[in-house]
């Protein structure tokens, strides 16, 4: 439960997400090296193996999707299609409803 006595009216500090990402990029590997150096070899082997499997899985899943999206974009540009937008969001189904929508008032 929250402690009401310690609450203040001070605004929360502004935190830049890019800065947090940069800190995590350097701090997390250092922490992992510390853990693996100060523990048994089994933990170090587990962490390294898990990292390699996770990296391989991520690359294995993202690469085909990136290729497919690039191919779709090339096809769209070659056909001369322009994306239909609805309040700034691209609607992939707009071509099916192009002439069937009632005009909004």
Domain boundaries, the chain: 17-97
Please write the tens of the pLDDT for every residue from 21-71: 888 888 988 998 888 888 888 988 898 899 899 999 988 988 888 888 888
Q: Give 103 or 41, the one with higher predicted confidence.
A: 41
Query: In which band, very low, low, confident or very high, does the pLDDT at 86 lie, cut at 50, 70 and 90?
Result: very low
- pTM for this prediction: 0.43
Say what the alpha-carbon torsion angle 86, 87, 91, 93 is, to the nearest 10 degrees.
-30
The rounded distance, in Å, linking the Cα atoms of 25 and 58 is: 18
Mean pLDDT of the region 2-29: 75
Alpha carbon of 88 to those of 9, 37, 85, 91: distances in Å?
A: 37, 51, 6, 9
User: Is the sign of the CA dihedral 78, 80, 83, 84 positive or negative?
Assistant: negative
């Amino acid at each position: 439960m929250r402690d009401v006595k310690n609450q203040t009216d001070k605004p929360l500090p502004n935190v830049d997400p890019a800065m947090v990402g940069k800190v995590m990029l350097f701090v997390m590997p250092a922490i992992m090296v510390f853990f693996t150096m100060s523990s048994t070899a089994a933990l170090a082997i587990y962490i390294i193996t898990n990292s390699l499997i996770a990296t391989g899985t991520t690359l294995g899943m993202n690469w085909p999707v990136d290729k497919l999206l690039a191919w779709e974009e090339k096809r769209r540009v070659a056909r001369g299609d322009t994306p239909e937008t609805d309040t700034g969001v691209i609607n992939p189904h707009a071509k099916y409803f192009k002439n069937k929508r009632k005009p909004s008032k």
